[in-house]
């Protein structure tokens, strides 16, 4: 069994803040139809509950206290056979109706405290209270405090909030709460009704289950027309001898609706394999035509909502945004053995090829000068090589320069300052060149995969190498027809597109179904 996941929001705020939170949550899309609002407020009225019902999006539960009807003033003002002043127990009814619940509790608290004082004085059990001194750091507790508390707890009075009778635990057993929940019906729409009541003695009385949607489709068999299009409607694997079965996203939605509303359905494919387009004589073909002619009660497929279709049939809320795209076959990759040289121009490669021997000759000359200087130095330490780099030949110097360029290092020791300056500059040059080459090569390979000649309708209309079309009698087909044949349309792109799409009444390049179009693009016919 599946369980519904709710986003529960519990609000214990003032009523005005609750309404503001609901409206802001709906406006900022923080609330959805799966949200569950729980309002706990003792003084919320029926009018305010209806306001919250229309403000909140989703399910709503309200918990509020039940107050008794106002009793007769003659009964309400009697305390132990003594009549209390009406100024204390019977305020004006008009003012009473406007009191907040907190004020009602405050009134009953004072009334209960006065009743306790009266009982203590009547029973002659009053304990004198020592005077308080605010200057002293400590004050002696009142000896009659516990006795006064017991008298209050044993008191049983009827105030503006009802009967107050406190038990040993300190709770009032006469307090009752009602739980209201939102309900849905086709006649009244979203409404609120009582689900249960609660008190400390009997507990919960009622059920908190959400009301089932009232509808007139229980047990009704609905005839459904559909059109195959992956992944919305597809033919499922069928057992021999059994009726054809369907699956897909739209079928899942249909099954969910049938389960919630309690109806059954018979599904069939539309005869002409069309979504629905208006003909020249004013009639409609496809699934829209079956609905208009009452051959079907419901159409389920990946059908697009258009103004023309909305004029003749009713649509549900959209559950998927649709946009027009261009389906192209990926071009065949051409193997080019010289693609590694593409990141740099030919002039850059020529300069690099010339720089290697030039730097090699410079290294060779500096190495020769170092060797002559070392041989003429009589105080040279034993064991020092005669040449600073390599063996001192020209090809060895060029080899060292090339090895440094490809980051393979070199042999020999750079001894003189001049050689170190030249080699250091060369290493810096090779580092910059290799880093630039790596970055340009990565960018070149990425762009080459994303490079397409057709990126918009304008590119599609200007080229003549690729034939194009769409699904006949579809929403896209009607869109290009309306734009291409409109004399007030300033953009000539749609007129050019429509001439190609509608060639030979759409039989040359347009197709009858999306699957046929995909096969045609793959085969490049």
Residues facing residue 269 across a β-bridge: 226
Residue 511, CA distances (Å) to 131, 153, 469, 502, 525 in order: 101, 86, 7, 11, 12
Rounded Cα distance between 329 and 521, Å, is 6
Strands 221-226 and 298-300, sheet pairing: parallel
Rounded Cα distance between 175 and 67, Å, is 8
Residue 228: which of 303, 288, 291, 324 has the closest Cα?
A: 303
Rounded Cα distance between 177 and 237, Å, is 55
> Can you say which residues are annotated as belonging to the binding site for L-glutamate?
304, 309
And the tokens for 21? 């939170």
Q: Are 454 and 495 in contact (CB under 8 A)?
A: no
Phi, psi of 26 (to 5 degrees): -70, -40
Q: Are 262 and 250 in contact (CB under 8 A)?
A: no
For residues 367, 372, 378, 380, the Cα torsion angle rounded to the nearest 10 degrees is 0
> Can you say which residues are annotated as belonging to the binding site?
304, 309
- DSSP state letters, 311-375: TTS------S--------PPPPPPP-TTGGGTTS-HHHHHHHHHHHHHHHHHHHHHHHHHHHHHH
Strands 234-235 and 59-66, sheet pairing: unpaired
Residue 42: which of 71, 76, 13 has the closest Cα?
A: 13
Q: Are 185 and 214 in contact (CB under 8 A)?
A: yes
- Alpha carbon of residue 24 to chain centroid: 17
Neighbours of 501 (CB within 10 A): 21
């Amino acid at each position: 069994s599946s369980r519904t996941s709710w986003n529960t929001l519990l609000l214990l705020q003032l009523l005005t803040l609750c309404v503001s939170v609901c409206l802001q949550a709906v406006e900022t899309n923080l609330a959805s139809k799966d949200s569950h609002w729980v309002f706990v407020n003792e003084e919320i009225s029926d009018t305010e509950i209806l306001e919250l019902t229309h403000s909140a999006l989703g399910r709503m539960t309200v918990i509020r206290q039940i107050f008794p009807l106002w009793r007769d003033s003659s009964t309400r003002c009697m305390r132990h056979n003594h009549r209390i002043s009406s100024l204390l127990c019977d305020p004006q009814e008009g003012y009473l109706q406007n009191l907040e619940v907190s004020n009602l509790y405050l009134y009953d608290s004072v009334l209960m405290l006065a009743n306790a004082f009266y009982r203590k004085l009547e029973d002659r059990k009053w304990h004198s209270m020592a005077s308080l001194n605010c200057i002293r750091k400590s004050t002696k507790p009142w000896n009659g405090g516990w006795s006064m508390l017991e008298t209050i707890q044993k008191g049983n009075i009827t105030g503006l909030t009802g009967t107050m009778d406190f038990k040993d635990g300190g709770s009032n057993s006469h307090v009752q709460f009602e739980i209201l929940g939102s309900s849905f019906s086709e006649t009244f729409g979203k409404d609120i009704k009582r689900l249960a009541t609660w008190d400390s003695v009997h507990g919960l009385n009622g059920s908190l289950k959400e009301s089932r949607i009232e509808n007139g489709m229980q047990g009704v068999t609905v005839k459904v027309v559909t059109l195959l299009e992956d992944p919305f409607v597809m033919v499922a694997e069928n057992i021999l001898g059994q009726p054809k079965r369907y699956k897909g996203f739209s079928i899942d939605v249909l099954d969910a609706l049938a389960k919630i509303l309690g109806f059954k359905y018979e599904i069939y494919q539309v005869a002409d394999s069309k979504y629905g387009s208006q003909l020249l004589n004013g009639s409609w073909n496809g699934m829209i035509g079956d609905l208009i002619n009452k051959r079907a009660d419901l159409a389920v497929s990946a059908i697009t909502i258009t103004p023309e279709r909305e004029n003749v049939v009713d649509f549900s809320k959209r559950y998927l945004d649709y946009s027009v795209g261009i389906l192209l076959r990926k071009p065949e990759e051409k193997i080019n053995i010289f693609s590694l040289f593409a990141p740099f121009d030919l002039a850059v490669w020529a300069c690099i090829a010339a720089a290697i021997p030039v730097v090699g000759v410079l290294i060779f000359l500096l190495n020769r000068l170092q060797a002559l200087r070392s041989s003429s130095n009589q105080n040279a330490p034993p064991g020092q090589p005669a040449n600073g780099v390599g063996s001192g030949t020209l090809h060895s110097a060029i080899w060292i320069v090339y090895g440094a360029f490809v980051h393979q290092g070199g042999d020999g020791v750079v001894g003189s300052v001049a050689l170190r300056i030249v080699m250091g500059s060369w290493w810096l040059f090779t580092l910059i060149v290799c880093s630039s080459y790596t970055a340009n090569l990565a960018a070149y390979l990425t762009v080459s995969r994303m490079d397409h000649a057709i990126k918009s309708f304008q590119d599609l209309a200007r080229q003549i190498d690729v034939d194009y079309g769409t699904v006949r009698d579809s929403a896209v087909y009607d869109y290009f027809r309306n734009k291409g044949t409109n004399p007030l349309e300033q953009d000539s792109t749609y007129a050019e597109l429509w001439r190609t799409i509608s060639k030979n009444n759409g039989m040359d390049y347009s197709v009858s179904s999306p699957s046929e179009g995909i096969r045609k693009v793959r085969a490049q016919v």
